[in-house]
Amino acid sequence: MIWCPESTVRQVERLSVRCDRCDYRVELSHRSDALDAALVSAGYVHQLRVEWAHLQRLQTLVSAVPDWRERFVSSGFVRRAPEFQEALQADPALHEFLRSSFRLVPRFQFVESALREHESELQISLLHCPSGMDGFIHIEPTFFTRL
């Protein structure tokens, strides 16, 4: 069986969404198929933006070390490197992010490419924050993990 996120979202009567800028939260009950598809895409974009921010902080951290691309090729090396322990303790979100295993440079390139692709396909007009702020709504990040 092939899993389709849009069909899963359509089955939920009251869908929790939040704004990526102001953290406004609301449950949407009367939604079109187009809005459900846009919300799924917006969820991908939100997750990619969060990962992009972690990767940028990580790049700033390791780029202070000469030849960092050769020395710190994976998240595991960075997580265990003594010169980064203090910085990682000061940034629990980045420390948690480094629990996943990836190679730094290819992951950065992949996230950048995926973010550009998903942002270009996003139907922004359907996703404006109802609070009137300058943000866009997306599905709560934990929606699919709670199923």
What is the pLDDT, as a whole number, of residue 111?
A: 95
Q: Is 129 inside a domain boundary?
A: yes
Q: Is 5 inside a domain boundary?
A: no
Site of tokens 């942002």: 119
What is the pLDDT, as a whole number, of residue 3?
A: 67
What is the pLDDT, as a whole number, of residue 102?
A: 82
SS3 content of the chain, % helix, strand, coil (to 5): 60, 10, 30
Q: Is 2 inside a domain boundary?
A: no
| pTM greater than the 0.85 cutoff | no
Q: Is 83 inside a domain boundary?
A: yes
Q: Is 27 inside a domain boundary?
A: no
Q: Is 4 inside a domain boundary?
A: no
Q: Is 7 inside a domain boundary?
A: no
Q: Is 101 inside a domain boundary?
A: yes
Q: Point out which residues pair with 137 in neighbouring strands.
A: 19
- Which residues 6+ apart lie within 8 Å of 122 measured at CB? 38, 41, 42, 45
**Domain that residue 140 falls in:** 16-21+32-146
Do 78 and 72 contact (CB within 8 A), yes or no? yes
What is the pLDDT, as a whole number, of residue 119?
A: 86
Q: Domains in the chain: how many in total?
A: 1
Residue numbers of the chain with a pLDDT score lower than 50: none
